[in-house]
Amino acid sequence: MSNYASFGIVSAMKIRVGVVGASGAAGGEVLRLLCAHPHVQIAALMAHSSAGTTIGEHHPHLHALADREITPTNSDQLAELDAVILALPHGTSGEIAAALGKTVRIFDAGADHRLVSKSQWEAYYGTPYAGCWPYGLPELLHDGERVARAQRDVLRTATRVAVPGCNVTAVTLALQPAVGLSEAVDFTRVVATLAVGYSGAGKVLRPNVMAIAALGNAAPYAVGGSHRHIPEIEQNLSGAGAQGVRVAMTPVLVPITRGILATVTAPCTASSDDLRAQWEATYADEPSVRLLPAGCWPTTAATTGANIATVQVTKDDHAGQLIAMCAIDNLVKGTAGGLIQCLNLAFGLDETTGLPQEATP
């Protein structure tokens, strides 16, 4: 398969994929989507502490894989595959990636290779910097350019891809069209407030993410500029063409399993009609981003299980602010689905292949 992949061509052969971190939340969602992918063979299921157990013990909903054993992570075996998906905690994928050759394509769902700035990585993550890879958001604008769809060109030839954070995906898709109205939007005063489902915390057992703390409760976290996704959002908006970007971000855990609803505001002098025209132009041809009809606002339930972002924009004339919103399923478009979009591009497939476009009611 790798010979075909190097030319971006997919034959009747299957793309042999290994998933490292198969027992975790992100790994489980990757596997759920890959089970329905017509061009993928799940060739390896690996992890560290859960090695020796079966997929069914961790993801009982994955019936087709329930009896498959999770094996210890083995770089030599991974190097023989066409693609490796790393669904690991932050700070742990760099070493594995370094041990693999360039013939295998790697898609990292963790944060290790997202940030261009070494100093920002060290400030927000506090571990050694592993370098920066091509960024796995196909819809990402380049200096306001939407016609050339430049990020897709990058991803088609990349052998290493850093998949974005779920909060970052929501905020970036909500606001990035505004770079086309840069003279009318103050990017130095962006405020993002996010309602976030608990699956964003993964499967690590902590008191604040247990059901007894979550049910009937809304709880902010990483308040006051400490959230690790802030430099990533600023990096994306700056790359899209915004000047002097500063983002004040407050995420709030809400008692839902899946989903993110991002509300983003910024001072703005453009009219509501001008804003809508800009959003329409930006997302007219995007298969995984849907601008809703005027007056219809994104909801998390309308994206559950789908690789879709729904967006909306308007102007608060009283406050002089644009209001942009985006809803995603944080495990799909925010993580596993976005990753598979990138995998599809890398292997010459339509980027929506194997990805659900309709939400689960």
Give the max Cα distance, the chain. Answer: 61
Q: In whole angstroms, how far apart are CA 149 and each of 144, 155, 186, 238? A: 10, 11, 25, 17
For residue 314, report the phi and psi dihedrals to the nearest 5 degrees: -155, 180
The sheet that has 289-291: what strands, in order across it? 219-220, 247-253, 190-196, 260-267, 321-328, 309-316, 289-291
Q: Where are the alpha helices (DSSP H) in the chain?
A: 2-5, 25-34, 55-58, 75-78, 93-98, 118-125, 150-157, 166-175, 211-214, 230-240, 272-283, 337-346
Crossing angle (nearest 10°) for helices 150-157 and 337-346: 70
Whole-angstrom Cα distance, residue 329 to residue 336? Answer: 10
Task: Answer whether 41's CB lies under 8 Å from 14's CB.
Answer: yes
| DSSP calls for 328-353 | E-TTIIIIIHHHHHHHHHHTTS-TTT
Strand-pairing partners, residue 150, are none
Q: Which two tokens stand for residue 68?
A: 């498959």
Catalytic hit among 35, 166, 268, 326: 166
Q: Give strand pairing partners of 27.
A: none
Cα distances (Å, whole numbers) of residue 355 to 31, 307, 332? 12, 6, 9
Answer for the pair 323, 262: CB distance below 8 angstroms, yes or no.
no
Q: Is 296 a catalytic residue?
A: no
- Measured CA to CA, the distance from residue 12 to residue 27 in angstroms comes to 26
Q: Which are the catalytic amino acids?
A: 166
